[in-house]
Amino acid sequence: MNLAGKTIVVTGAASGIGAATASLLVGRGSHVIGVDRRQMTLSHQYQADMGDPLSIDRLVSSLPDGIDGLANIAGVPPTAPPGDVIRVNLKGVQRLTLELIPKLSDGASIVNLVSSAGNRWAQAIDQIREIEEVDWEDVDSFSQRHHMDVEGRSYFFSKEALLVWTMRNGRSWIERGIRMNAVSPGPIDTPILDDFIQTLGPRAQRSLDATERLGTPDDVAPVVAFLLSDESGWLRGANLCPDGGLGAHMALSEFGLD
């Protein structure tokens, strides 16, 4: 993968998949700009809160022009308040991405970290359509109205909606050669894994049992890097799934074929 010399923004770069992706990109010769609420081990970093629209606006105004890639990896787990989950995992990603489009180079790549939790997006189409019209300050009322506090629903919904948004915008900036794709990992051994087990209980355990081992950030980072590279130029609106076979198992099990 030819990533040398590319300027790439990585959100959530302080830990987990974001940190692994940033490290891999630096090793491939990229100029990485890390974004997180916490300190990072990168030469170029910005502190920002993806759940705060004003923080995102300040970040965008501070970032340089000529960005070749954006990896939207920052996110919060289902133990966070439902409104915060939707704001950070969905609304924040959308706001940052759309505001950064003018600063992206022609031919740039946008990669959104989704999740196997978003696989059943087709069952949430009505709510996905509705959230598109919901303003930032109305997310909490949306969450209450749709019971997003039940069994981590806010997290699943945020990833379903983000996946649909990715697919719909894969070609939105085609005249400039800018593409958008998604990566949907399965269960990953990161600091927030316990949050999923705590929230989802047996449901989380079934997902863990469907794979031979937990994934690691290093299993996912190369997939993100591939989508940021020129070699993935024909992919638009795609969703790559480093999930240990979980997605295939879930899809087949719905029809009794697992």
Question: In the predicted model, what is the mean pLDDT of the chain?
Answer: 93
Residue 189 binned pLDDT confidence (cut-offs 50, 70, 90)? confident
Is residue 258 in a domain?
A: no
pLDDT above 70 (res 200) = no
Question: Which CATH number fits the domain that encloses residue 58?
Answer: 3.40.50.720
What digits encode the pLDDT tens for the residues 19-51?
999 999 999 999 999 999 999 989 999 999 999
Is residue 1 in a domain?
A: no
DSSP assignment of 130-162: HHTT--GGGHHHHHHHTTTTSTTHHHHHHHHHH
Is residue 62 in a domain?
A: yes
pLDDT above 70 (res 156) = yes
Q: What pLDDT does 136 receive?
A: 95
Q: What is the mean pLDDT of residues 198-221?
A: 76
Is residue 63 in a domain?
A: yes
* pLDDT-wise least confident of 62-66, 157-161, 166-170, 211-215: 211-215
Is residue 12 in a domain?
A: yes
pLDDT above 90 (res 2) = no
| Residue 46 Cα to chain centre, angstroms | 18
pLDDT above 90 (res 252) = no
Pairing mode, strands 44-47 and 67-72: unpaired
25 neighbors 228 (Cβ within 8 angstroms): yes
* Containing structural domain, residue 154: 7-253
Distance separating alpha carbons of residues 123 and 133, to the nearest angstrom? 19
Q: Please give the structure tokens belonging to residue 123.
A: 């069952």
111 neighbors 68 (Cβ within 8 angstroms): no
| Longest CA–CA separation in the chain, Å | 52
Amino acid 168 reads R
Percent of all residues in the chain with a pLDDT value above 70, rounded to a whole number = 94
pLDDT above 80 (res 78) = yes
In 3D, which of 189, 26, 8 has the Cα closest to residue 110? 8
Q: How many domains is the chain partitioned into structurally?
A: 1
Residue 191 binned pLDDT confidence (cut-offs 50, 70, 90)? confident
Give the other-Cβ count within 10 Å of 98's Cβ: 12
Residues with a catalytic annotation lie at 155
Percent of all residues in the chain with a pLDDT value above 90, rounded to a whole number = 80
